[in-house]
Every structure is written in structure tokens, then in C-alpha cells.
Structure 1
Amino acid sequence: MQAISNQNVVVLKEEGVTLPKGFKAGGMHCGIKKENLDLGYIISETPATAAGVYTTNVFQAAPLVVTQESIAKEYKIQAVLVNSGNANSCTGEQGIKDATAMQKAFASQLGISEHLVAVTSTGVIGELLPMKKIHSGIKQILNKENAAEENFMQAILTTDTSVKQIAVQIQIDGKTVSIGGAAKGSGMIHPNMATMLGFITTDANIAYEDLHFALKDVTNQSFNMITVDGDTSTNDMVLVLANGLAENNQLTKNHPDWDLFVKGLKMVSEELAKKIARDGEGATKLIEVVVDGAKTQEEASIVAKSIISSSLVKTAIFGTDANWGRIVTAIGYSGVPVQPNAVKVAIGPYQVFENGLPCPFDEAEVKYYLEQETIQIYVELNQGNQSVTAWGCDLTYDYVKINGSYRT
């Protein structure tokens, strides 16, 4: 277990959704995919307060509709069932029936009410779920051999090249509170939710309204600040479950440790978001864009997203080309009114643009910097004191190969 202390937050990079008290996870291969695991679960010992954020795509997949309706009944979820390989999206009335059938079958296995089960799917759009395989899988999924957090993380992947997990621990009211997370996402990633699933568990005692507020706030600073290719999917969701087993005094915005809880939640969300961006389909680099000196957070976000979403910026980074003109161009067409002569741009430690003019720099040195795995672009607008950070990846030949044959 690798533990790193970060100002009252202990970061556990090798832990995830089962670190908080009362949570377990697992997964198996039920036959949706040819070989890899494709059906996973998270279960809490007791019903947990649940909050979610969902894709902005108007074509919301059937599982998202069913899960949102379930959470709305009493803001409680006790189990999550996830399948990969098939999105159950654009499947009409039958898709809703199938998502509901998954929910009902897993609830029956657990002996709990149907609305306490969240369901979600990820994979190919427009194909009906192979329900015989899924029903068969649900009957076996609680078998001992399937009970492993690693199985769950593998079961939710599609084109991802690696699992994504992180956990933190904080002290609240003298109690150790854990927050763990797992996610999948590699392509169709763009701000305002993308083809990604995020699952966060915590044993904190917190009411729905405050949990939902914290999740939305943190999501806007993490999952909504990443992009791979500019596409927003139909199935995306981040779900947080809080079962209260840490037995702290109930967290509210007025609790003295509220900011510490939000910090922990943000650290988990941000780390998962960065892992998704770094694992973009075909990607070789993580790109971090910092925009400082904006009038408002919104304007800073718009500029940052414009840069990180630019195909020309992304391909220049892949090619280790210090083409600062593409960065400046992305700032200029972002729609935010900036003063060109006040803007500064740096690639890593190298200033490349200032006062409306290029700065002299050593091409070889910057090229060497661009060969690293993590690249930072820093923009100073000099118009205010607001700052944001966005994350993305380079755009490579392999991205085209992967998506050119995604269904076949």
C-alpha cells in the first residue's frame, strides 16, 4: 500500500472503492465480450446516500434513465451493477426493459429492493443487450471467485489500456473517513461528462443535499475539465455512495471539517480525471493546461477547454512541435474577449509568447521537453485573478486506428 500525506489527506494510490468501510466489489466474464471481464458490481453493507452527475448528451442511455429514477425515490443506493461491451443506448423501450430487468435480477440476488440497485452500461451504441448472458452472469456473479476489486475495475473497461483507481483518508470528528474511486474512460471524452464512468465510495455520514452539492462542485473542477477527442457520449455518469459507517457527525456545509471532506473528494475525482485523460485512445502524453489571470472562472474554463480540445494543439504535442501559434489561435477563437498584447504563453518552463509577439527560445530544448510524458501549457491572460486547470492528451495515429474499427 503506497501512502502519501498531503496536508491532512492521506493518498492511497493502490486502493479504491473497497477501502471505505462496508463496501465490496467484484466482476466476471459473462459473454458480452469475447474474453475480457464484462460484468461488475459494487455492494454496500447498508443502503448508502447516493448522488450522481450525468452526461449532457440528449440521447441518454437506458441505464442512466433507470438509475436516475431509482435515486430520486429516496436518494439511496446499496448496489451498482455495470456491464461493458454494450452501451444499451439508442435501444428504445426494449432498452429500458432490459436495464430494469438487470436491476430486478441483481436486487433479487441480494435480497434488497429494486430501487436500491443502480445499473449502468458502456460499449457499442445501438445494440440490444444479450440478456440471457447477463442473467446467467448475475446468477454467478456473487460467487467467491468473482469477489475482487481488481475484477470490478477490469469489468468496466472498454478501450482503456489500464485500470484507474485512487483512495484517500481524512480525519473527521476523530474518525477515519475513507473516500475511494474507480473509473473507466479512454475515448469519446469531452467536458460536461464524456464516455466515462466514475464510481466513488465513502463511509462518511452525509445527507443527500450536501453530497450532491459537493459532487457537482468537484465534478466541475475535475471530470468536466478533461477532453480526449471532443465527443460527449450517451452513457456517462459519476456516482458517489456514502454509507455513513465511519460514524462521524453528519457532514454539512457548516461542519468544521466540510472543506476537508470536499478536498478529499476533489483529490479522488481529479486523479481519476487525469488518469482518464492520460489513457486517451492512442495517447502518449498527458497535457495539462493552466489558465491564470482571467476575469471569471467561467472565462478561464472556456479558454482552457478551447486549448485542450484543439486537434492542432494536440497533434503538435504528439509531434513534439513547439507550435505556440496553435495555442494562441485557440485562445483567440475561444469567444472570451482577451487583450492580445497582455497574453503570455509558456510551454513548460519556456516562455514562447508575450506582448503579442513571439519570444526567443531554444527549439531543441523545448522539443526535448515535449518528449516527456506530461506536458504543461501555461497561459496568463492578465485580466483578473481567476485560474483553472484542464487536462487532455495528444492526438496520435493510433487514435484513428482504434476508432476506425471500434465496432469490428
Structure 2
Amino acid sequence: MQTIEKKKIMVVEGGGVTTPKGFKAGGLHCGIKRKRLDLGFISSVVPATAAGVYTTNLFQAAPLMVTQESIDKEHKIQALLVNSGNANSCTGEQGLQDAYDMQRLFAEKMGVPNHYVAVTSTGVIGVPLPMDKMKAGIEKSLEKENEGVIRFEQAILTTDTGVKNVCVQLEIDGEVVTIGGAAKGSGMIHPNMATMLGFITTDAQIDHTTLTEVLKEVTNQTFNMITVDGDTSTNDMVLVMANGEAKNKPITNNHPQWSLFVEAFQMVSESLAKQIARDGEGATKLIEVQVEGAIDDEAARGISKSIISSNLVKTAIYGTDPNWGRIVCAIGYSGEKLNPTHVTVKLGPITVVEKGLPFAFDEEEAKTYLQQENIHIFVDLHQGEGKATAWGCDLTYDYVKINASYRT
């Protein structure tokens, strides 16, 4: 495991949710999927301060209701259990009971109170959870052969093409504090919680109110700034566990190293968000949209989301077509106030619009730029200090193929 320094924050290559002190993770195949791992867990040696953000979809899945209720009870959890292949969503009273049973069974296995276990599910909507398979899987979950962070990262995936993880370290009060993360998400991804699950662990000592404040602030700038296809799912959640095992002094917004901790937390969240965006179903490119000069940050967020959500922009990027008209259209229908005669648009280093009008550029140079894997769209509105960045991916033929046969 190697570390890379960035200012006072170290990126731990190969690190993840078990790199912070006191955390374990694992995964196994319980039979929901045909062959792949489909049941994963994270546990802490002590009850951890917990905070979560959840889907804005009104059809909220049963496991999310159970997890929110548990965190609200004491603001602590000691473990989480997640299955893939079945969302346990739109499953009525039976689905809610299954989520409670899932929680109870793993709590008994862990030897902790029921409300110390968070549960979540991802996969097909409207199908009852196969509880016989879940029970058998939970019974075997803590066996030595099922331990390992990579097994957890694999167990939470659905249509993802690979695992998503990140880890950073920093020093607070003379103690090394670690923040690790894992996520899944490939389709049904859109700003304001998409079909994604994010799990962040840290050995920092921090209270629930402060942790919730950090999570919400950072989520609005990272997880809520990605889109793949404009769909928001019923099961989305980002959950943070902070077990205090680093033994630092409690972190508050008055702590002298508060901004450093927030920066590290943002690095983890942004990395996971970008990994999700790049792994969009069928995607070949990561698109970053940076908007500056808006009247405020909120307007910049609205415009950047509008551009990254445009199917016409996404298909143009896939086809290496520098059709800037699609970008200005998305800016114009964003609903945000702006003066079109002030707008600049660039594709990477290439200016294509200046003061709202076409700017002469080399078409072949622009097409060559759009063949890259990482595409940057820059917009300057020249109206204020507001800025924001959003991430997404191109829209390809394979996206249709994957989703046309999702259940088969």
C-alpha cells in the first residue's frame, strides 16, 4: 500500500473502507445473483457515529427507511449489511419486514443491538427479497474466507464494470486520521441522489451533528453533481461511519484543522462521484463541466447540471462532434438568469463560443480533442463569482443494450 502526498493530505493507493483503524469488511455469494458476490458487510470494533443522505425519490425502498430509523435512534451504528441483485423496493409491508429481519439476523450474528446495523439493497425493483438465501448468507457472512475489502467492493455492484474505492490520510492533533470509501453506481444516476450507494468510513472522532453537516455540504458539491442518464432511483444512499479510533480530539467546525478535514472528506467524495460518472452504463468518456462567472454558486450548479444532463451533449461527445450549439441550448434552458451575449464556451483548450457568438476554431482539432477519455467543457458567464463543477459521461449504443435487457 503506497501513499501519495497532496498538500497535507496523503492519498493511500490501494486503500479503502478498512484502512481506517477498527473497520473490517467482507462479501460472499448468497444466491441472489447467478454467480457473482451479492452480500457484503462493513463492521466497526466499536459503535461508530453515523450520518446519511438518502434518495429524493418518493418511492423510497424499505431498507432505507429501516436505516434512517436506526440512525435517528442513537446516531450510531456498528455495522452495515448490503445486498445486490434485489432492491427490496416497492415490496410493501413484506419488504419492510424483510428489511427488519435482514437487520435483526445480522445484528444477532454480530452480537449487537438491532439498531446498530444499517441495511441497504440494490438491484431489480418490485421483487420480494429471497429471505431463505439471505438467511443462509448472513449465517456464513463472518466466516474468515469471506473477509476482505475487495470482496465487499465486488458484492455491492450491479451493472458496474469495476469496483470503486479511495482512501486518504491526514494528521489531526498529532494523530493520523484516515478516511476510506467505496461505492457502486453505473445507471440510473442523476443529481440529488441517484442509483448509487456510497460508504465512507473514518477513524476520526466527530459528533453526529458535525458529521451530518460535513456530509450534506460535501454531497451537494460531489455526489449531487453527477449524472449518467437523468434517472433517480429508490435506493440511493451515502452512509458515513466515524468510530473515533484515531483518538484525535473531537472535530468541530471550530477546530483549527476543520477546513483540512473537510477538504479530505471532499477528496474522498469527489473521487467516488467521478468514478461512478466514468463507469456510466456503456460509457467511454468522463465529461467534466466547469461553470464560472455565474451570479452565485447555486446558479452555476444549475447550469453545469443542465449541460451534463443533456442527452444531445452526451451523444455529441460520444460521436466526437464539437456541436457547441447543444451546449448553449442546455445553458439557455437551465432556468438560471444569465446574459447570452456574455457567454464563453470552451471544449478543453479550444474556444468555440465568445460573447454568445460562434468563435472560429479548427473543426479537426476539436474532433481530435473529443477522442480523449477525459473531456472538459468550460463555461464562463462573465456575470459574477459563482462557480461549480459537474461530472457525467457520454451516451452510447451500449447504454440502450444494457438497459433493454436489465432483467434478463
Q: Please report the TM-score for the alignment, with normalisation by the length of structure 1.
A: 1.00
Could you list the per-position Cα deviations for residues 3-41 of structure 1 after superposition, in whole angstroms to 9, with x for gaps in the alignment?
221110001231100000000000000000000000000
2:322 is aligned to: 322
Shift of residue 301, structure 1, vs aligned partner: 0.4
Greater alpha carbon shift after TM alignment, 355-364 vs 228-237: 355-364
Amino acid at match of 2:195: T
Q: Distance in 2 between matches of 1:119 and 1:28?
A: 16
Q: Distance in 2 between matches of 1:211 and 1:322?
A: 43
Task: Check if 1:145 corresponds to 2:145.
Answer: yes
List alignment gaps of at least 5 residues for structure 2: none
Greater alpha carbon shift after TM alignment, 273-282 vs 356-365: 356-365
Shift of residue 272, structure 1, vs aligned partner: 0.1
SS of 2:227's partner is: coil
Instruction: Note the 1:87-98 alignment, pairs <5 A.
Output: 87-98=87-98
Q: Distance in 2 between matches of 1:255 and 1:34?
A: 49
2:79 is aligned to: 79
Shift of residue 174, structure 1, vs aligned partner: 0.1
Q: Distance in 2 between matches of 1:14 and 1:294?
A: 38
- Say whether the 8 Å CA contact 1:281–1:398 is kept in structure 2: yes
Q: Distance in 2 between matches of 1:5 and 1:371?
A: 31
Instruction: Note the 1:8-407 alignment, pairs <5 A.
Output: 8-407=8-407
Q: Distance in 1 between matches of 2:353 and 2:173?
A: 49
What root-mean-square deviation, in Å, do the aligned CA atoms of Structure 1 and Structure 2 show?
0.5
Could you list the per-position Cα deviations for residues 224-259 of structure 1 after superposition, in whole angstroms to 9, with x for gaps in the alignment?
000000000000000000000000000000000111
Amino acid at match of 1:278: R
Shift of residue 194, structure 1, vs aligned partner: 0.3
Could you list the per-position Cα deviations for residues 290-311 of structure 1 after superposition, in whole angstroms to 9, with x for gaps in the alignment?
0000111110000000000000
Shift of residue 179, structure 1, vs aligned partner: 0.1
Amino acid at match of 1:237: M
Q: Distance in 2 between matches of 1:296 and 1:4?
A: 34
Could you list the per-position Cα deviations for residues 58-102 of structure 1 after superposition, in whole angstroms to 9, with x for gaps in the alignment?
000000000000000010000000000000000000011000000
Could you list the per-position Cα deviations for residues 110-163 of structure 1 after superposition, in whole angstroms to 9, with x for gaps in the alignment?
110000000000000000000000000000011100001000000000000010
- Say whether the 8 Å CA contact 1:48–1:243 is kept in structure 2: yes
Q: Distance in 1 between matches of 2:268 and 2:336?
A: 30
SS of 2:280's partner is: coil
Amino acid at match of 2:105: A
- Say whether the 8 Å CA contact 1:13–1:165 is kept in structure 2: no
Q: Please report the TM-score for the alignment, with normalisation by the length of structure 2.
A: 1.00
Q: Distance in 2 between matches of 1:278 and 1:13?
A: 19
Q: Distance in 2 between matches of 1:221 and 1:84?
A: 27
Q: Distance in 2 between matches of 1:77 and 1:68?
A: 11
Q: Distance in 2 between matches of 1:136 and 1:208?
A: 34
Could you list the per-position Cα deviations for residues 251-293 of structure 1 after superposition, in whole angstroms to 9, with x for gaps in the alignment?
0000001111111100000000000000000000000000000
Q: Distance in 2 between matches of 1:295 and 1:313?
A: 24
List alignment gaps of at least 5 residues for structure 1: none
Q: Distance in 2 between matches of 1:361 and 1:207?
A: 53
Q: Distance in 2 between matches of 1:233 and 1:133?
A: 24
Q: Distance in 2 between matches of 1:96 and 1:258?
A: 39
Question: Hey, which bits of structure 1, 4+ residues long, moved more than 2 A?
Answer: none
Q: Distance in 2 between matches of 1:14 and 1:300?
A: 34
Greater alpha carbon shift after TM alignment, 7-16 vs 261-270: 7-16
Amino acid at match of 1:226: I
Q: Distance in 2 between matches of 1:2 and 1:400?
A: 39
SS of 2:198's partner is: strand
- Say whether the 8 Å CA contact 1:16–1:182 is kept in structure 2: yes
Q: Distance in 2 between matches of 1:28 and 1:348?
A: 43
Amino acid at match of 1:143: E
Greater alpha carbon shift after TM alignment, 180-189 vs 12-21: 12-21
Shift of residue 52, structure 1, vs aligned partner: 0.1
Could you list the per-position Cα deviations for residues 186-218 of structure 1 after superposition, in whole angstroms to 9, with x for gaps in the alignment?
000000000000000000000100000000000
Amino acid at match of 1:236: D
Amino acid at match of 1:247: K
SS of 1:63's partner is: helix
Q: Distance in 2 between matches of 1:85 and 1:306?
A: 31
SS of 1:254's partner is: coil
Q: Distance in 2 between matches of 1:36 and 1:7?
A: 39
Q: Distance in 2 between matches of 1:214 and 1:11?
A: 20
Q: Distance in 2 between matches of 1:233 and 1:120?
A: 13
SS of 1:194's partner is: coil
Shift of residue 2, structure 1, vs aligned partner: 3.6
Q: Distance in 2 between matches of 1:128 and 1:138?
A: 17
